[in-house]
Amino acid sequence: MTGAGPRVGAGTGSICLDVGSTWTKAVLVRPDGGLAGFAEHPTTSADILTGVDAAVRAVGAARSPDQRAEPELLACSSVGGGLRLAVVGAERLTATEAGYRAARSAGSRVVHVHSGPLEPQDVRLLRSSRPGAVLLTGGADGDDPSLLLHNAGKLARARIRYPIVLAGNVAARDDALALLRATGRTVVACDNVAPRPGELVPESARAALAEVFARHVLGGRGPTAAPRFRRMVRTMTPDAVRRGTAELTRLSGRSVLLVDVGCATTDVHSAVPGGGDARRTVEGDLGVRAAAEGVLVEAQTEELVDPVEADLLAPAVRRMSTEPGYVPKDAGGAAEDRRIAALAAVVAARRHLRAVLTGPADAHPPIGLVVLAGGVFRRRDPGGLAAVAGTLRCDEVLGPLVADAPILVDADFAVAPAGLLVANGRAEAAEALLRDHLLG
């Protein structure tokens, strides 16, 4: 089903596939935009295509008996999950804060910080944190460049292949680049994240990390699976959802805020009628499995939970973060899942609004439609989902903006498939899919 073969026309319908870090989802969309089937399978780590093929076979079984031609396969992926970031800098407090601020909304989370000269044992410790990228900082512009050049040299000679975002002393940038590229390292150079003592300017480093994340999130594991997977998947899931959000905005004629809470990341998309593409932020430290601990930390920082509730949620969060495939079987476990998802949604939406809005929130027009997406919200529990909606409406930051907005749940998994359909010339099918399975 997923092998290379002739491209078929829209008349056969489409299988829209989303390969996530924990679950692989597939829907069969008829040519008229109707949903003919849904299937999901745990994402397989040893050979990613095992789970992909299983999901495609399962949903393909819903084809009409008289349909012999295979549906076209349209695929997106976020299998790489959040980007694990190691930070190397001159002074620990500055490096930690610089890494945290650069990673925010760029799909990344800080998993290791080193300050000072790198020594062999430090490189081993960095490797043990299993980063997906390294943020190399060090020194304000005009400072002695020796530390930055020393660390660039150590990373150049180390047995690592992670992309390196170079965001240090501008006077040493060319020499540091030369050291790193001389040994074949992938380097993205940007402005100094700490150009003056006591000042952090993370925007350029954040944009560079977002670029690295876009390559990372597509994934493709295993030496034999990767080539076939890469031919199949050309779109990352956040891009498919962004297109779906823009289409929702066009169809509804309202400003839309969509929050997609995943296992490893939480993505927020917003669009206004006539405003072109949707705006997107991706939070790599917020999720309901691999990044669940980040949700609890940030919810306390934002004063969304008190210490008593944090203690009560802590055991569930530990289980979520260590058992990616865990699905609660009881009502209490499902309620904890929804609570963590609701907190992730609020924190991510607050960050998104800070990033895309200028001036105070109450100076902006209200949001016309809110959509919640993600596996937690697809479990049909009206009472539980009403509690999630209440969390958003009662939030002191989001509440005034969403007070009168309908809050819908993408329960039928329509938004990402609609984005894939639009991107592949199936606009009419995408419109019917969203109208019938989300807008009503």
Please write the tens of the pLDDT for every residue from 353-381. 999 876 665 556 789 999 999 999 998 78
**Which pLDDT tens digit goes with each residue over 240-296?**
999 999 999 999 999 999 999 999 999 999 999 998 889 999 999 999 999 999 999
| DSSP for residue 59 | H
Cα of 146 vs its chain's centroid, Å: 36
Q: What is the pLDDT of residue 66?
A: 66
Tokens representing 145 are 């460049």
Q: What is the pLDDT of residue 270?
A: 96
Q: What is the pLDDT of residue 6?
A: 34
Please give the C-alpha separations between residue 191 and each of 85, 206, 208, in angstroms, as whole numbers: 18, 10, 10
Q: What is the pLDDT of residue 221?
A: 44
The residues of the chain scoring below 70 in pLDDT are 1-11, 65-68, 220-226, 358-364
Q: Say whether pTM exceeds 0.85.
A: yes
Do 377 and 411 meet the contact criterion of CB atoms below 8 Å apart? yes
Do 324 and 263 meet the contact criterion of CB atoms below 8 Å apart? yes
Element (H, E) at 315: helix 307-322
Please give the C-alpha separations between residue 368 and each of 249, 270, 305, 433, in angstroms, as whole numbers: 9, 11, 27, 20
Edge-first strand order for the sheet with 407-409 is 279-283, 266-271, 256-261, 369-373, 407-409
